[in-house]
Structure 1
């Protein structure tokens, strides 16, 4: 009833073109066809050596995706979260149908936030966006990685500075190491830019004994 009242007062719209929709967060088919473009990202040799099963992206980090991600992370807008979850759910379904990413995956792990940032934001965007869709296709989702240093924001840093900023920022407890050994792991996050975060997280997972790594993000500017 409450949602029906809200929909009457504030009719749902496609987050990309503002066409009226039936449900909050829903995208129109035309915009999904334009924005949701699944692709495997090109990786430099050091990153490709760690992520042997590749890193996949659902769309370009511009236009509506860029705005929605900013509104989610910095404004905490529920409308943006719903729109991104709808987008991510469709993307995961399509990838699962192709069996291009998930066929060998044992467990999915999110890029973690430091506890201080998690407290400030109130949620980990990677878990918020991917948990339900990943578990619905039958893949386990665990929080095995920890962020032990409260690093500086990556925005505005070049690749060398980002790598230095993130060095030794992630760790895995002894208990979780036992659960990772020999597993094929999918690492998920909202954005892929220089790859510094994936590189450091990937190194930690490989050191803990992970067999093969793949990655999946909502958006990336990498071509």
Structure 2
């Protein structure tokens, strides 16, 4: 007669707890060993750094945007003109979005951070960049219902493997409590890279490129939406996105970016 095989006994609670503890200890020990073997380097200058990936010297070179700035576009002023004074750009060429805010000027260190996140899969930079953005856009976020990342076309998203704007939006959401409407806005046709195009060419390039899907319109209708992107240059992409959201009956649209290009000698009217 075949010998009977004794059924296996389930693990007792103390044993399961001990195994979980061993796993946790092993995980922390492995991470510590990796940190010792491969110290974090500053993304800008490649010097060893503890913490957020930017050394003290490069941190000092980051130009955070603070008042005084245009209340509509967030463009920093060279002097304080008084409350409510708009920039010449906001008066001469107002965008579809209501207000824009940026954490930093798009200088050398900011460019490196953006490129590391965008092209080199440094998703570990998104939490700190998002935290800076949440602080810079606090007045927008206080009134917001939804965060909407500027989308990539699916072909570009496939090649990059992730959307940097979505990573930033998730970080902002964790700090602000404002929900992310992922994939509510879609890029329905591929566009050329904006680099090297004139302002008018940029606007033409993205015209009609964005759309809120019919099944997502109820999610947008009547809501106060904040667009999230990494860099603001001419504003053509953000403007096209804002127009698509307003066509879907968003109550209003704001814009929050990590960095913005600031032309020299910006002043109010």
Q: Same fold (TM over 0.5)?
A: yes
- Alignment check: 8 A CA contact 2:148 2:169 kept: no
Deviation at 1:182, TM superposition (A): 1.1
Distance in 1 separating the partners of 2:90 and 2:231: 17
Q: Does 1:211 align with 2:244?
A: no
Q: Does 1:125 align with 2:164?
A: yes
Of 218, 222, 232, 1:182 maps to 222
Q: 3-state SS of the aligned residue for 2:147?
A: strand
Distance in 1 separating the partners of 2:188 and 2:167: 21
- Number of residue equivalences: 215
Q: Does 1:9 align with 2:44?
A: no
Of 138, 156, 179, 1:140 maps to 179
Deviation at 1:48, TM superposition (A): 3.4
Deviation at 1:7, TM superposition (A): 1.4
Deviation at 1:103, TM superposition (A): 1.2
Look at both structures and tell me which one has the larger radius of gyration over its CA atoms: 2
**Which structure has the higher relative contact order (CA within 8 Å, separation 6+)?**
1
Of 49, 66, 70, 2:115 maps to 70
For structure 1, which runs of at least 5 residues remain unmatched after alignment? Answer: none
Q: 3-state SS of the aligned residue for 1:210?
A: coil
- Alignment check: 8 A CA contact 2:129 2:168 kept: no
Of 145, 151, 155, 1:116 maps to 155
Q: Does 1:196 align with 2:223?
A: no
Question: Deviation digits for residues 57-98 of structure 1, max 9, x if unmatched?
Answer: 111112111022223323x243xx323432322441x246xx
Of 127, 140, 143, 1:85 maps to 127
Question: Deviation digits for residues 137-157 of structure 1, max 9, x if unmatched?
Answer: 210101210001011111111
Q: 3-state SS of the aligned residue for 2:142?
A: coil
Distance in 2 separating the partners of 1:214 and 1:109: 10
Q: CA RMSD in A?
A: 2.3
- Alignment check: 8 A CA contact 1:95 1:102 kept: no
